[in-house]
């Protein structure tokens, strides 16, 4: 039986059905990506499956004892809790007991009076078979590299999301639901998350607009469009080809329908001649066609983006020489130099907190460097996307937020009515008159872009513009930026967006070192962890082999090759599990492959631990 079976489920908020008699099955070990426009009802579907909501009609059936866990877009924790406590909460009441035991063990280190209390908790744990749950929490924390006793209040948004994932995984769910798991994660954290999910043995249903993430993970794409679910077996690239064919077929069918409706309208208007024929059946048929046409929900239009470019800047836009910047004695930028020319499209790439926004502000002359020279070219007109976020007045209407009381705006010397301009960003007249506070995250980002593109600018600075944008809006934004004649400075963690837009990348490589490379993310030279291991091993072996006996030297010399072989096998098996055809094979083959992946992970951990032990001798 499937993990879950959704049968003719409908749910509506107001007069529009978000889900309209939809059907869906999810099998064990499938990785299903749910996509669709902002506001279509994707999160609603996840909440229905997780039993946070109930359908208006239809039913959802679960495999016997099926455990479901949901990772929300914005996880909430008590800031005073430790990571251990937050993760253990995923286990419910037994988790609270496990956390109590953990806290007492920590306290005993400084206060022996807790020994008696420890004995009581140990007895309760044994009665509840709690030791296996305590071990489960410890294993998850180790696997996700989370420090057990760190306070939640000290964690960044990305690390809190990692804790939320641990809280979901500790329940050992059969079906894991993820709502936009990559939002606000940096590239390194996204790659880490991909690896964790590739090794997850249960079923996976996730919402994402990150196309590279979808391509690497999904074995099937489910699209929610106008209340209907359509399934596309295969990866994201396969979905794009099938979707295009479906849209073409839908357009042909709609054209045939409209032609028939037009012919029947001509017939009914023939007046006496039509009445004389007494073809009541044909009249009823026409009325049915009219009703069907009125109920037909058209495909939502596409965002139309144009930007006011203004006067061209000088040939050299920004010149920086030996820029240095530290924060509280911690170096962020060290001896950085660059020359940005008119028309360059520069991507800033690096982890959260490494100094990307600091460098942006220095380049824009909004923040002084500790040392170094900065020179701006002539005729610069800068529009900064991130600055607009704080300028949104939540009580204003959408139209007033953009037009500031004007009926017309001017884009590239052409006047346009504000309602027409907002319709290009998918704001219908009723939505355009709504307050900003009623907008979803994706709609607010579209509003920010609408405001940004009314500004006359020859330098665009976009700091994380892709958060919450649906795929179609992302692709249209890409097209706009590719055709933009001015200069672009872009901060993003969306790998495909970077690859499709930027001409060169400024990369934060750790220890305040920043280098510039031609091309996007895929063009950055990747450091090989295998080579690092071999180099480190060789160097340390030379210094320390005299303290090892013959057998230990021999074992240490073999470890790098052993690790390399295991990692190669691990990569090959992960590629197999990423292939949609893997899940068409028989269950025993799937189980054997997934079991071997687990074995390799355990063997690698043993090898690394043994290698460290030998080097420390």
In this structure, of 23-27, 78-82, 473-477, the range with the lowest mean pLDDT score is 473-477
Q: Residue 76 — very low, low, confident or very high, per pLDDT cuts 50/70/90?
A: confident
Q: Which residues of 422-433 are buried (b: 16+ CB within 10 A; e: fewer)?
A: bbbbbbeeebbe
Cα atoms in the Cβ-side hemisphere of radius 13 Å centred on 613: 9
pLDDT of residue 547: 56
Q: Tell me: pLDDT of 508 over 60.
A: yes
Mean pLDDT on 503-529:
86
Highest-pLDDT range among 25-34, 75-84, 177-186: 25-34
Helix (H) or strand (E) holding 32: strand 31-35
Q: Which residue has the higher pLDDT, 526 or 207?
A: 207
Q: Residue 337 — very low, low, confident or very high, per pLDDT cuts 50/70/90?
A: very high
pLDDT of residue 386: 66
Q: Tell me: pLDDT of 605 over 90.
A: no
User: Between vectors from CA 434 to CA 479 and to CA 402, what angle results, nearest 5°?
Assistant: 50
Mean pLDDT on 607-613:
75
Backbone torsions φ then ψ of 62, nearest 5 degrees: -115, 150
How far is 443 from 156, CA to CA, in rounded Å?
25
pTM of the model: 0.68
Q: Residue 471 — very low, low, confident or very high, per pLDDT cuts 50/70/90?
A: confident
- Which tens digit of pLDDT belongs to each residue from 549-560? 666 776 777 787
How far is 99 from 445, CA to CA, in rounded Å?
40
- Which tens digit of pLDDT belongs to each residue from 231-240? 999 999 999 8
Mean pLDDT on 319-325:
95
pLDDT of residue 480: 80
pLDDT of residue 27: 93
Q: Which two tokens stand for residue 383?
A: 């529009």
Task: Taking the CA atoms of 539, 544, 549 and 555 in sequence, report the sign of the dihedral they define.
Answer: negative
Percent of the chain at pLDDT exceeding 70: 84
- The string of DSSP codes covering 450-488 is HHHTTS--SEEEEESTTTT--HHHHHHHHHHHHH--SEE
pLDDT of residue 124: 81
Mean pLDDT on 137-151:
87
Mean pLDDT on 221-236:
92
- Which tens digit of pLDDT belongs to each residue from 407-466? 888 776 778 899 988 888 878 888 888 898 888 777 787 888 888 778 778 899 998 888
Do residues 21 and 10 make contact, with C-beta atoms less than 8 angstroms apart? Answer: yes
Strands 382-384 and 408-411: unpaired
Residue 98 burial class via C-beta count within 10 angstroms: exposed 0-12, middle 13-18, buried 19 and up:
buried
Cα atoms in the Cβ-side hemisphere of radius 13 Å centred on 614: 26
Q: Tell me: pLDDT of 118 over 60.
A: yes
- Which tens digit of pLDDT belongs to each residue from 257-310? 778 777 766 666 655 444 444 455 655 665 665 565 555 545 555 555 555 555
Do residues 114 and 167 make contact, with C-beta atoms less than 8 angstroms apart? Answer: no
Mean pLDDT, the chain, integer: 82
Q: Tell me: pLDDT of 37 over 70.
A: yes
Q: Which two tokens stand for residue 46?
A: 């996840």
Mean pLDDT on 201-213:
93
pLDDT of residue 297: 47
Highest-pLDDT range among 109-113, 384-388, 565-569: 565-569
Q: Tell me: pLDDT of 539 over 80.
A: no
pLDDT of residue 314: 79
pLDDT of residue 439: 81
- Which tens digit of pLDDT belongs to each residue from 147-189? 888 999 888 777 888 899 899 889 889 999 999 888 878 888 8
Highest-pLDDT range among 126-130, 265-269, 314-318: 314-318
**Closest listed residue to residue 504, CA positions, set 488, 484, 481, 480:** 488
Q: Residue 312 — very low, low, confident or very high, per pLDDT cuts 50/70/90?
A: confident
In this structure, of 119-128, 324-333, 529-538, the range with the lowest mean pLDDT score is 529-538
- Which tens digit of pLDDT belongs to each residue from 352-393? 878 898 999 999 999 999 999 999 998 888 888 765 566 688
Q: Residue 538 — very low, low, confident or very high, per pLDDT cuts 50/70/90?
A: very low
Residue 283 burial class via C-beta count within 10 angstroms: exposed 0-12, middle 13-18, buried 19 and up:
middle
């Amino acid at each position: 039986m499937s993990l879950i079976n959704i049968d003719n489920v409908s749910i509506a908020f107001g007069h529009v059905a978000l889900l309209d008699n939809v059907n869906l099955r999810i099998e064990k070990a499938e990785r299903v990506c749910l996509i669709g426009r902002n506001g279509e009802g994707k999160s609603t579907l996840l909440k229905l499956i997780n039993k946070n909501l109930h359908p208006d009609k239809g039913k959802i059936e679960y495999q016997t004892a099926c455990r479901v866990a949901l990772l929300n877009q914005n996880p909430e924790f008590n800031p005073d809790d430790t990571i251990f406590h937050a993760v253990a909460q995923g286990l419910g009441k037994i988790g609270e007991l496990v956390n109590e035991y953990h806290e007492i063990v920590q306290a005993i280190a400084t206060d022996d009076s807790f020994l008696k209390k420890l004995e009581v908790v140990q007895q309760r744990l044994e009665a509840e078979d709690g030791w296996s749950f305590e071990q489960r929490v410890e294993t998850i924390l180790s696997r996700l590299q989370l420090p057990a006793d760190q306070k939640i209040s000290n964690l960044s948004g990305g690390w809190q999301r990692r804790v939320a994932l641990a809280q979901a995984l500790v329940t050992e769910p059969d079906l894991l639901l993820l709502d936009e798991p990559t939002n606000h994660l940096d590239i390194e954290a996204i790659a880490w998350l991909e690896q964790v999910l590739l090794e997850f043995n249960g079923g996976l249903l996730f919402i994402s607009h990150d196309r590279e993430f979808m391509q690497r993970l999904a074995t099937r794409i489910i699209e929610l469009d106008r209340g209907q679910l359509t399934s596309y077996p295969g990866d994201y690239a396969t979905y794009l080809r099938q979707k295009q064919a479906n849209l073409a077929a839908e357009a042909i069918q709609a054209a045939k329908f409209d032609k028939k409706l037009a012919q029947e309208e001509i017939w009914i208007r023939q007046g006496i001649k039509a009445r004389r024929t007494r073809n009541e059946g044909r009249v009823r048929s026409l009325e049915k066609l009219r009703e069907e046409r009125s109920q037909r929900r058209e495909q939502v239009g596409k965002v139309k983006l144009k930007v006011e470019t203004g006067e061209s800047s000088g040939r050299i836009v920004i010149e920086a020489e030996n820029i240095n910047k530290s924060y509280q004695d911690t170096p962020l930028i060290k001896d950085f130099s660059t020359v940005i020319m008119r028309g360059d499209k520069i991507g800033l790439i690096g982890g959260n907190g490494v100094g990307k926004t600091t460098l942006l502000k220095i380049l824009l002359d909004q923040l002084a460097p500790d040392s170094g020279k900065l020179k701006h070219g002539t005729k610069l007109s800068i529009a900064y996307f991130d600055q607009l976020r704080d300028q949104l007045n939540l009580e204003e209407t959408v139209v007033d937020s953009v037009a500031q009381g004007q009926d017309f705006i001017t884009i590239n010397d052409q006047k346009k009515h504000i309602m027409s301009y907002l319709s290009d960003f998918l704001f219908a007249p009723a939505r355009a008159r709504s307050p900003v506070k009623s907008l979803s995250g994706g709609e607010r980002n579209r509003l920010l872009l609408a405001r940004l593109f009314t500004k006359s600018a020859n330098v665009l600075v976009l700091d994380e513009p892709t958060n919450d944008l649906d795929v179609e809006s992302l692709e249209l934004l890409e097209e706009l930026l590719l055709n933009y004649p001015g200069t672009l400075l872009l901060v993003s963690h969306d790998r495909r967006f970077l690859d499709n837009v930027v001409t060169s990348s400024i990369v934060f490589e750790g220890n305040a070192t920043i280098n510039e490379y031609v091309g996007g993310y895929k063009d950055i030279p990747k450091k090989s962890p295998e080579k690092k291991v071999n180099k480190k091993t060789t160097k340390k072996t030379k210094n320390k082999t005299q303290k090892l006996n013959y057998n230990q030297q021999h074992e240490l010399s073999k470890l790098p090759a052993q690790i390399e072989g295991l990692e190669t096998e691990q990569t090959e098996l992960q590629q197999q599990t990423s292939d949609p055809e893997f899940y068409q094979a028989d269950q025993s083959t799937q189980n054997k492959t997934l079991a071997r992946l687990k074995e390799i992970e355990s063997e690698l951990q043993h090898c690394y631990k043994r290698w460290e032990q030998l080097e420390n001798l």
